[in-house]
Every structure is written in structure tokens, then in C-alpha cells.
Amino acid sequence: MDNLKDIVSKNIIYLRTNNKMTQLELGETLSYSDKAVSKWERGEAIPDANVLLKLSKLFNVTVDYLLSEHDEEELKSVRTHRVDRRVISLISIIGTWTLAIVIFVIVLLFGYVQWLIFIYALPVSVIVMIVLTAVWGKKKNNFYNISILIWSIICVIYFTLLQYNFWFLFIIGVPAQVIVFLSFRIRVKK
């Protein structure tokens, strides 16, 4: 059994470092703590079957690969894939703003100048980031995204109704921000 712990440990370390992930990032992706990842990598524990399955999907290997010993050549031949999330995020945000520019130009061709289109693009961009962050398992980062979303929606409403001078809308943001802060402080005990 100790030999199996060492094998799994070595494989997890290789896959994690080869994909330029920290123990914290891997733990967040798997919904575990970095301490649990550290135990696996020190060979003090073996992840359960569910975690092994998640690891295999994350690193594009089989569960059998995680449980088997490999020499250096085999380790190097494994093609793990990890997309560059920053590039995908950047492409998504640029796509959102490109769409806003296209809509602005189309409306401009009909003789209207609607600068509010760019204000509306801000919460849409943030929603895209919230979705990407949730998909990638970095839920802690969504605290900032949701906070920005709240304030950007308030700005959209304010600028849309600018003629009515609804400045007090910004007061609504304070309790909403407190709710977001408290909701991210909730911890589920395992």
C-alpha cells in the first residue's frame, strides 16, 4: 500500500507541476484544500476514487495512469492539456467589446449615437468572467467578479435613467456588497 501511495504521489506531482499549477490551484479545482493535495504528494494519503477520476479528466490521463508507475520517458510522453485560461478570458472579453462596437456602429448607421451600449457591455463582460471562473473551479475569484457586476449594473441603471438623477441607487450597492462578502465567507465542513 505504501508503494501505491508513492506512485500516486509521484504522478500527481508530475502532472501538477507539468501543468504549472500550485497545490492551492489544484485543490481549488478539485474542491479540496491545498493541505489535502500536499498529503497526497507527500504520500501520506491516496485520493479517493472520485478525486482520481477528477484528476484523470483534468490532466487528460486515465485513472490507471495515476495508479501505475512510470519511468522518466513515459512521464515525458504523456500529453497533458491545460488551456491557457488567461488567453481564453481575454478572447471572451475582447469578443464582448467587439460585439458592443459592432452594435454601436450599426445603430450609428441608422443615425443614432448610443454611447450607453458601451456601459451595457461592462456587466456582460463581467458575466462572461463569472461563467468562465465558475467553469474552471476558481470560485474564490468570483467574489471580485460578482462585486464588479453589482456596481456595474447599478451604473447601467443610473446612466440609463440619468435624466431622473437616481444617485441614491448607489446606496443599494452597499448592502448588496455586504451580502456578497458574507456569502463568500460561508464554509462547508467536510
Do residues 35 and 70 both lie within one domain?
A: yes
State whether 50 and 115 are in the same domain: no
Q: Which three cell numbers stand for residue 160?
A: 440609463
* Burial track 112-127 (b if 16+ CB lie within 10 A, e otherwise): eeeeebebbbbbbbbb
Cβ-based neighbours of 42, under 8 Å, separated by 6 or more:
9
Contacts of 140 (CB under 8 A, 6+ apart): 28, 184
Q: Centre a 10 Å sphere on the Cβ of residue 21 and count the other Cβ atoms it contains.
A: 18
Asked whether residue 188 is assigned to any structural domain, the reply reads: no
pTM above 0.75, yes or no: no
Per-residue pLDDT of the chain (190 residues), as tens digits, is: 568 889 999 989 988 888 888 999 888 888 899 899 999 999 999 999 999 998 888 888 888 888 988 877 666 666 555 567 778 889 999 999 999 999 999 999 999 989 999 999 999 999 999 998 887 766 677 889 999 999 999 999 999 998 888 888 899 999 999 999 998 888 766 5
Quick one: 59 and 94 in the same domain? Answer: no
Domain endpoint, select from 39, 55, 77: 77
Is residue 143 situated within a structural domain? Answer: yes
Q: How many domains does the chain have?
A: 2
The last residue of one of the domains, among 59, 77, 95, is 77
Residue 20, in any domain of the structure: yes
Q: Give the integer Cα–Cα distance in Å for 51 and 100.
A: 41
Assess whether 92 and 19 both reside in one domain.
no
User: What's the one-letter identity of residue 76?
Assistant: K
Identify the domain boundary among 28, 48, 77: 77
Taking CB atoms within 8 Å and a gap of at least 24, the contacts of 59-67 are 59/15, 59/19, 61/15, 65/11, 66/8, 66/11, 66/12, 67/4, 67/7, 67/8
